[in-house]
Amino acid sequence: MGHSPFTPGVVAGRQTAEALSDGFADLHPPLDDHEALVAADRCYFCHDAPCMTACPTDIDIPLFIRQISTGTPEAAARTILGQNILGGMCARVCPTETLCEEVCVREVAEGKPVEIGQLQRYATDTLQRQGVHPFERAASTGKTVAVVGAGPAGLACAHRLAMHGHDVVVFDARSKPGGLNEYGIAAYKSVDGFAQAEVEWLLKIGGIEMQYGKRFGADLSLEALKSEFDAVFLGIGLGGVNALGIDGDDKSGVRDAVDFIADLRQAGDLTELPVGRDVVVIGGGMTAVDAAVQAKLLGALNVTIAYRRGKDRMPASEFEQDLAASKGVRIVFNAVPKAVHGNGAVREIEFDYVSADMTPTGETLRLPADQVFRAIGQTLDADGLPELDGRKIKVTDAGRTSVDGVWAGGDCASGGDDLTVTAVAEGRDAAEDIHQTLTGAVR
């Protein structure tokens, strides 16, 4: 076993390569042709479909499912991708159980919705496998747009702008595109390098230049971008992570969950990735669940998620909570971190139990831990930004910021709910507004 140089209990090789391959296999294996037809046949093709209203990108769900049922999944893919160019990834990571599938008439009546997410994946994968790009680039407008951030918002914005004939340069701080799709989600939700394959397919529209290793604030300034380009879109995400703000937070073995997930997503060999024996994840969202489940799959013996509120307030969906429990992750509610104990490296973490109104009950909990992951929310980490609304960039519905000629969308902008599908919608809508502004075109 390989040992971490900092924390004795954090070691690699806790699982065999075979066990890791099984554990990190596709969470939802794709439907085959027959399964897709059977699943599509359950749709009522509602005229006033509640699933469409629940979709942040307004995909015509009954239409694309009908197209699958008539044996034309490529047409279904075009219906999806016309609204959501990252429809393949969204089919994998979107919490459909709290969006379209939650309001499906079949779910309401029978407790089993139409498998909208799986059908969306079936359609988009069919088209992408063919190497076909369903959209053509319009004649050049001669206008140039800078997109900062190659995550879902930035990619959706860049694609729509390129489609309209604008020349786009996408800047990203990392060495690969995709943002959270590449670095921030559980490996079992996106297998076989899908995030990169989807970006390569998206870029087939043409007119998009990618530049990596360019961080906003350090390598790029808003003023310089404004002077060089006709418009700027900021899709920089949230680079900072909230601190625990407790004694011992700086001990070895305490780190950000997003960094652990990124390391795992980029690891060439999971048998070489260190993980603790006793792992505690602080937080209650999907990042917390992704970190906890993957720590368990890597071979951690005891994995606990500690969330400061009750089960009914936990941001992670019921499906995600059940997934964690099924993998052997323990979830502790109403527990607020109090102190990290250990001599240099973490050995235990102490919590105060609190009531529903966050008042300490007087009871405490101490958990052994050689690895603690912070998953308590991210913050905007950049200077020289337009006006903020709280801790995010203030934007209008069309993504306009306080600075003329600058738009923003995705996690860095106010008003969203930090979902991939919402980021795509905001990038797409901002692109339409940029296009209209630059050309005077009427939507």
Region for 172 from its dihedrals, namely left if φ exceeds 0, alpha if ψ lies in -120 to 50, beta otherwise: beta
Same domain, 208 and 191: yes
pLDDT at 8: 78
The total of structural domains in the chain comes to 3
- Residue 19 CA to residue 21 CA, distance in Å, equals 5
pLDDT at 4: 45
Q: Of the candidates 95, 129, 163, which is a domain's last residue?
A: 129
pLDDT at 442: 61
In a domain, 134, yes or no: no
User: Which domain, by its residues, includes 335?
Assistant: 17-25+243-377
CATH number at residue 351: 3.50.50.60
Q: Name the residue among 157, 192, 188 with its Cα closest to residue 171.
A: 157
Which strands sit side by side in the sheet containing 144-148, from one edge to the other? Answer: 208-212, 167-172, 144-148, 231-234, 406-408
Please report the pLDDT score of residue 418 as a whole number: 81
Separation CA 348–CA 247 (nearest Å): 12
Q: State whether residue 332 is helix, strand or coil.
A: strand
Looking at residue 6, its pLDDT comes to: 57
For residue 354, being part of any structural domain is answered with yes
Domain edge (last residue) among 97, 129, 161: 129
Same domain for 358 and 262: yes
What phi and psi, each to the nearest 5 degrees, are found at residue 245? 70, 35
Shared domain for 371 and 255, answered yes or no, is yes
In a domain, 12, yes or no: no
Same structural domain for residues 154 and 234? yes
Would 310 be classed as within a structural domain?
A: yes
Average pLDDT per consecutive 10 residues, the chain (443 residues; last block may be shorter): 60 96 96 98 95 96 98 98 98 94 95 97 97 95 98 98 98 97 96 96 98 95 97 95 92 96 96 97 97 98 98 94 97 98 96 97 98 95 91 95 97 87 97 97 62
pTM: 0.95
Token pair recorded at residue 392: 């995010």
Q: Which two tokens stand for residue 302?
A: 């005891």
* Residue at 283 is within a domain: yes
Together in a domain, 163 and 223: yes
If asked whether residues 260 and 349 sit together in one domain, one would say yes
Confirm whether 345 is domain-assigned: yes
- Please, what's the b/e burial string for 206-231 (b: 16 or more CB within 10 A of its CB; e: otherwise)? ebbebeeeebbbeebebeebbeebbb
* Residue partners of 108: CB distance under 8 A and separation at least 6: none
* CATH code for position 52: 1.10.1060.10
